[in-house]
Structures are given as C-alpha cells and as structure tokens.
Amino acid sequence: MQNQEVYDELIAKFEKLFGSKPAVVAYAPGRIEVLGNHTDYNEGFVFSAAIDKGTFFAASPADDDTVTLVARDIGPDGETYTCKLSDVKKVESGATWANYPLGTFNWLFDGEPSKAGRGFKAVFGGNIPLGAGLSSSAALEMSTVLALSKIYGIKKDKVALAKIGQKAEHTFAGCPCGLLDQASSLYGKAGALVKSDFRSCTFENVSMGDSVAFMMVKSNAKHALVDGAYASRRQACEDAARHFASVLRHPVTHLRDVSTAEWVLYRGGLDETKARRAIHPIGEDERVLKGAELLEKGDVAGFGALMFDSHESSRNWFENSCEELDTIVDAAKTIPGVLGARLSGGGFGGSCCLLVRPEAADEISAKIKAKYKAVHGDEPTCAVIKPSEGAHLV
C-alpha cells in the first residue's frame, strides 16, 4: 500500500472509532542500514537511510485519564489496548505490540506518565513489512513521540526524541538496541544517506548520486532481536572494550577507541569468542570512514566493495548472518550490476541491502530470486528503495 492510502485509511478509521478527526498525525519512516553494523552501541559510525515506507500515528487528547491505542494492522479489524495513566507499564502478554507506543509515552514523561494530566487516543498503522529488518518498531516509536510531544506541548531536540524511543525498546520491548534505527528515521533526507557518529550524536546527509540505487532483498528467515543473540553480541563488545581499556595506553570506553591494528597486537588474554565479536564493529568503523572518503571522490564501486567486506565480517566474526542471507550475498556477487551487498540491521535473518545500478534492477531481482529458490525452495522479496525524508508531522 502506498503512504497516501495508509494515511487515508487511518484517518477514516480514527473518525469511525472516535467520531472526529485526529488533532495530530505524525509519520516516521523505516530505515535501511547501508554500512556500519553493530557499531551504534559501540559509539561508532554508520551509513543508513530512511526509506519510503513508514508508520502513521494519528492522535487526539482524551477527555479523561485513559490511554487508548488502536493498532490498525493487527488482525482483520485492528486491535485495541487501553489503560489508565496510573497504569502505564510494560505489557507482558497479549497485546505486546502496545509496548512500543506505551514505552515511548512513558519516557516522554521521564517515566512518570501521570504527569501528562490526561490521556490520549490514537490509531496507528503503516506499510513496513514486519520482520524484514527495516525497523518498523523505531518507525512506530518515532511517529508516536512526534505526535505526542505535539499534543502535550513538549519541545525536545531530535537526539532526545530518538533516545526516548531507544529507552522504550530497552525497558518495554526488551531489546538493548543502539540509537541507529530511531536516528535514521528522524534524520533521513530524500535522495541521501544519513552518516551518523554515535559518540558525538551528530548526523549528516550525504548524497550518492543517481548512478546507483539500493535494493532490499528480504529473506524468509526469522528476524527476532528480542531473544538473546543481540544482547549477547552487545555484551561481548562491552567486555572486549574493558579488556582493551586495560591493555592500551590511551583511553578506551567503547570499541570505537580500538583500531584493527591494536586488535591484532593486543587481543592476547581476551576470550576467543569475544575477540571474534570485537573485530566486527572495529572493522566496520574503519569501513564507514573509508566509505565516506570514497563517496567524496564519487567512487561508488569502491563503496560497494566495502559492503561485501562488511558481510564477510558478519559471517565470519560476528556470526550474525545465516544461510539465507549468505545465499543472497553470494548470489549478488556473481550478478552484473551489483556493486555491493551485505546484511542490514541486527542480522540473524531479515534483509540484505544491495547497492545496484538502477537500470539492471529487474534483471538482478529475477536472478537473486532464482538462485535463492534453487537453494531454499521459496523466493525472497526484492524491492528498490528510495532514500526518503525523515519523520515529520503531517
């Protein structure tokens, strides 16, 4: 469904349920991660982009202290969750989808939602395929936070808004994510990448020109970061940073402070698995910085080669790839018109991001589908993605 259709349906649904138009509607897009994997919580660098699909959040203040959330996309007719301001807390079972908007609302008021004074009613829905690694959850958080800060007259900068969504993920949804997804959704720009520095929390838009496009290839492998794999990777990185802090002569607080050369020389004494995990974000930081230099020179082919390297690092060191994603990247390497390919986002399933020549897109997608089908029996979904505008009020 196109964004306009989603919006029209949502407004109609809101009016039908609540008898008036919403006071506010906010839109926030999903994201693709282009280069720099698992670097955000290591205070490193990432290239990403907001996509042309997202989530709309339509809301009005309530007359009393009730919070009403309607998820348009769940079940045939949507699903509703309600609670009182005094009872805003993590939903443990059933309507666990409510944790994203509820957690966001909770942290918009610094964990004291009663301070809102009165509740709100909202309907939300979107067109980001779920489980594809396109950050539908961050899109929901960022559309929620934009709409609710408007309703309650709260003014915060974008970094603070992104952190509210991240806190909702950590405490309500149970994923210890970095800030990448929320920041990409807020800082996206049409036709441009977002280059993020997660130490200084600064975000820059960089164009890649018209000679290349991105293609997302969604495997049919499950993508769930709430289970332990993401958390254990993050833990390993933090443990490795402590090791390097104890053996290097300069200050190390995160893996951002360690170079590949230092990893080679100073990994002795670090547990083997943790050392393997650590070299991934360390190498990714270096690839992002190298990629930025190449883009400045207009070398998109060189940038693409770094994407292939990124995937090898995921596959061999971080072990957050899987057979399905490897099939896509291995196939992509053999197809003319593909400049680079890598897994995008948390990993363990979800999607690959390909850098392609736009004129070859149809042929590339047909070939990827055929090669994937020959191995796994079903077809992945391929879509050309347009880097798009970030979150905004509609």
Interface residues with ligand GLA (CB under 6 A) are 33, 37-38, 40-41, 177-178, 180-181, 345-346
Least Cβ distance, residue 234 to ligand GLA (angstroms)? 8
Task: Compute the least distance from the CB of residue 35 to ligand GLA, in Å.
Answer: 10
Residue 181 annotated to the active site = yes
- Whose Cβ is closer to ligand GLA: residue 178's or residue 380's? 178
What is d(CA 102, CA 172) in angstroms, rounded to the nearest whole number? 8
| Among 328, 348, 325, residue whose Cα is nearest residue 338 | 328
Q: Determine which helix (DSSP H) or strand (DSSP E) holds 199, and give its type and residue range.
A: none
In angstroms, what is the minimal distance from the CB of 178 to ligand GLA? 3
d(CA 216, CA 226): 22
d(CA 265, CA 9): 59
Q: Under the phi-then-psi rule, with left for phi > 0, alpha for psi from -120 to 50, and beta for the rest, what region is 110? A: left
Rg of the chain over all Cα atoms, to the nearest angstrom: 21
87's CB contacts (< 8 A; 6+ apart) are: none
Rounded to 10 deg, the angle between the 136-151 and 158-168 helix axes is 120
Which residue is it, tokens 């966001």?
104
User: What is the spatial distance between Cα 365 and Cα 299, in angstroms, rounded to a whole number?
Assistant: 24
What is the maximum span of the chain, computed from C-alpha positions, in angstroms? 67
Q: Residue 280 carries which side chain, given as an amino acid letter?
A: H
- Residues 354 and 335: their CA atoms lie apart, in Å, by 11
Residue position matching structure tokens 């490897």: 326
Least spacing, CB of residue 175 vs ligand GLA, in Å: 7
Q: How far is the CB of 41 from ligand GLA (least distance, A)?
A: 6
Least distance from ligand GLA to the Cβ atom of residue 165, Å = 10
What tokens were used for 204?
A: 């820059």
Task: Provide the minimum distance between the beta carbon of 195 and ligand GLA in the complex, in angstroms, as a whole number.
Answer: 14
Q: What is the 3-state secondary structure (H, E, C) of 72-135?
A: CCCCCCCEEEEEEHHHCCCCCCCCHHHHHHHHHHHHHCCCCHHHHCCCEEEEEEECCCCCCCCC
Comparing CB distances to ligand GLA, the nearer of 291 and 345 is 345
Q: Which of 52, 181, 285, 326 is catalytic?
A: 181
CA distance 7 to 231: 35
- The gap from C-alpha 121 to its chain's centroid, in whole angstroms, comes to 26
Residue with tokens 């949502």: 10
Give the nearer residue to ligand GLA in terms of CB position, either 349 or 380.
349
The catalytic site residues sit at 181
